[in-house]
Amino acid sequence: MTKSAEGLSREALVDIVRELRGECAKYRILARESGEHLAQMQQRIIAAETKLEAIHAGLVDIDAWVFLDLSGIKINAAGKLEGTADAIEKLKQQKPHFFKEVI
């Protein structure tokens, strides 16, 4: 036992352990929620950046971006998107009328 725990009754120690377990549970919930928020923010970044790239690639109507398959687009360790060009090229092949020729 540590010096701070010396002299405490068994019941007092059990109460402290229960309190600490409750605090740990709260922190686990906060960590899970934080992870969920991070995932949501990453999806928003992917959507926004992909829309921008699609416009640069000649997408005529911004509302057509919903046809892009975002499942292969990831944010790498440097914070850059990977897979955007492939997703846009695939949409260009499937629905060329959504794009104008970029000069």
pLDDT digits (tens, 9 = 90+) for 49-65: 999 999 999 999 989 98
Provide the Cα torsion 20, 21, 24, 29; round to 10°.
Answer: -140
Report whether pLDDT(87) > 50. yes
Is the pLDDT at 44 greater than 70? The verdict is yes
Mean pLDDT of the chain: 87
| Coil, strand or helix at 61 | coil
pTM greater than 0.75 (yes/no): no
Q: Label residue 1 by pLDDT band (50, 70, 90).
A: very low
